[in-house]
Structure 1
Amino acid sequence: MTEGSDTAAKNNPGSYVTGGQEFVRDTKYIDTRITADGRDGYPVEAGRYRLVAARACPWANRTLIVRRLLGLEDAISLGLCGPTHDADSWTFDLDPGGVDPVLGIPRIKDAYEKRIPGYPKGITVPAIVDIPSGAVVTNDFPQITIDFELEWTAFHRDGAPQLYPEHLRDEIDEVNRGVYTEVNNGVYRCGFAGSQDAYEKAYARLFTKLDELSARLSTRRYLVGDTITEADVRLFTTLARFDAVYHGHFKTNRSKLSEMPVLWAYARDLFQTPGFGDTTDFVQIKQHYYIVHTDVNPTGIVPVGPDLTNWLTPHHREELGGRPFGDGTPPPPPRPDEVVPAQNWVPTA
């Protein structure tokens, strides 16, 4: 994170909490799709599109995991925004001069404006940009990963896993609905609650679902079937942020993840699987939440803890069976320019 991005976040902060109200997420995204047949005007084409993400964001982290598991790095380039942003836009402050080297812009908002001048909604990541036009194609994050899995198959690596197999899609969709409403978005309904009542209701719903998921995962290694699927990707990115951010910052403090034995072992199993932990940047995660959400954390102080070394401890989930990648294989190591800095990861010594 650069000093400039920190200053911008403090000088022009966004507003996330509405007094007296529960948090309601705006889920109306740009739903144009990139498909094999190009029916929306954007056909699958290697090198044409750039995924703009931020390691801090759980919704964007999903796309980083799926892109890596499927081996789409050569087909879809990656632009990474810094961990903090102001009320206006996510910015490319990690790049030299604060400008994305491919798109030539300092803010992802510029690509939104290219697509929809005067874009009236929030500037979000992940977003996929059409490089020739410089315009955002879509920011519909739930659909982006599904389309990576189903529409980009011509560019999947050899040994790519089936993350959304046809015979399990109905069950995956059902699990995902509950995980999204109660967990992925549930932590935000706690953290951005504008009243005690709204917070307590969100808190109860969150931990009710986490207890249900613990029961489900007590006898099975993965959420659906015996391999990693889209469902596991979606739950993981929230669990990875739970102790580092949500337990304190969002007041989801009945239990730490590390105090929920089944979910903690499940999360460590995934974290230690190529594609999951190696896309997780704990420093950026903490900087994002504690600096950006000034109406939740007015001081902007980023906590030093928690201890992260326990993410690498044995999980013993392999005793439940299952094959992480099914008939496929693990992805190769991350590209050198996409490796999470060692100092932002889990201390190994």
Structure 2
Amino acid sequence: MNEAAENQRGSEYAIDVHGLNKHFGQKHVVKDMSLQVRRGEIFGFLGPNGSGKTTSIRMMCGLLTPDSGSGTCLGYDIVRESGEIKRRVGYMTQRFSYWEDLSIRENLDFVAHVYQMPNRKAVVARSIESLGLADRADQLAGSLSGGWKQRLALAACMLHEPKLLLLDEPTAGVDPNARREFWEELHRLAALGISVLVSTHYMDEAERCHKLAYIASGTLLAQGTAAEVVQSQHLSTWSVEGAGLSDLAERLKTMPGIDQTVVFGAALHVSGSDRDTVAATLEKVAHEDGASLRIAPIPTGLEDVFIYMMKRASARGETS
């Protein structure tokens, strides 16, 4: 398809799906999933293990056929035109899936050969240079650290210049510095108009996404910017510092208005949906415990919200 025809597919959304459902046997894995991802947007997909994230990503991008529902990916129908989508998507799995007895250059050359890319040598050289792999281009993949393997995997899935990247927990097991550099690269790609759909368990990564969605047992519970997701849960949070926080956390769980207690370092975060009741409960605790506790309201954080949603979903039997 020529560039003019490709532009006819132009839409503000790289992904636009509605009412997607998927069953595996008797298990309803994804339930009425509706989602929109703008072009050039980094969209984070979060949820517990087994919640349907990977299945949802694959359906939204034509890699897996939904039982029902509809939508487009890069302007192509996810059911009828899945072949067109696959040619324009880069998919990076959590598990390193390249050849450890080949060098970086040999791995990339093989992938380029699979895609039947013209000017393979030039394409591979450009990829090696753009992702900072030149100094290690002839190093065997099996001897690379997790961070360098990650760069190789990203280079491989970018060889055919995809318009959309699907990243399934791409930084699992990678050190913090490599994760930071990886995310800087993602933002560089997004600035070029490439859309990124990424699943992650790391809250610092979630906060670097333009938009987020949280899924539990195939049901989308919240989506929007980080601020919108936090606001959607209507939680009020206090920080409690002092001695005996573990015992205090257990006491508070049985007291009025307390929906959640989570230890963060030297502080206990106490949250509830009824601000006045939580405040009254903490005032009572402060009075009972004297001056040993330091209590102050704080902004509810994204991690507070995701822990809250996960616990609520688990209580309803929505997580596996």
Tell me whether the two structures share a fold, i.e. TM-score over 0.5.
no
> TM class, shorter-chain normalised?
under 0.3
Q: Name the one with the larger strand percent.
A: 2
* TM-score, normalising length: structure 1: 0.25
